[in-house]
Amino acid sequence: MNERQQFVTDENLRVFTMKNYFVDSRHKKVHWNWAAFFLTSFWLFYRKMYLLGFVYSIFTILVQYLIPSSWAVFIINWTVSILFGMFGNAMYLKYAEKKISRICETYADDSARIPEFYDQGGTNLRAAILIPLGIGIIHYVIFQVFLA
């Protein structure tokens, strides 16, 4: 067990994710997640994976404009959604393990770690709603101004 893995205990993961679900599915590479499949962008922001959420959002917008065939866009989007449905939990767990390790390396005692787990982990419903909404508004404005 390397130093990073020693910090990622089931208890730390449970506190960080605020769920037993991810602890129970921890060692499965493929574990279906309906939210990641149907609501990929919202799910990424909800789980505080902001960078990946922005990358995914930009990718879907670019695919829409760079690929002329609507069928190709449909197939690409569904393929990406299926991949997130299948591997979303594994991606989130990898993200959570990195965050937990960084927190544990930064804070020596549990009394300081627990508040950080709650702050950096868990979910953010506000971001899940407002960020995709903001991206959609920006996308609409850019489309109306530059591409219409």
pLDDT tens by residue, 76-97: 999 999 999 999 999 999 999 9
pLDDT of residue 146: 79
Count up the domains in the chain and report the number. 1
Q: Is residue 75 part of a domain?
A: yes
61: CB partners within 8 A, 6+ apart: 135, 139
Question: Does residue 28 form part of some domain?
Answer: no
* Average pLDDT taken over every residue of the chain: 90
13-33: pLDDT as tens digits: 888 988 887 887 777 778 899
pTM of the model: 0.89
**Residue 104: partners with Cβ closer than 8 Å, 6 or more residues away:** 7, 12, 113
Domain region containing 66: 3-22+33-147
Is residue 27 in some structural domain? no
Polymer length in residues for the chain? 148
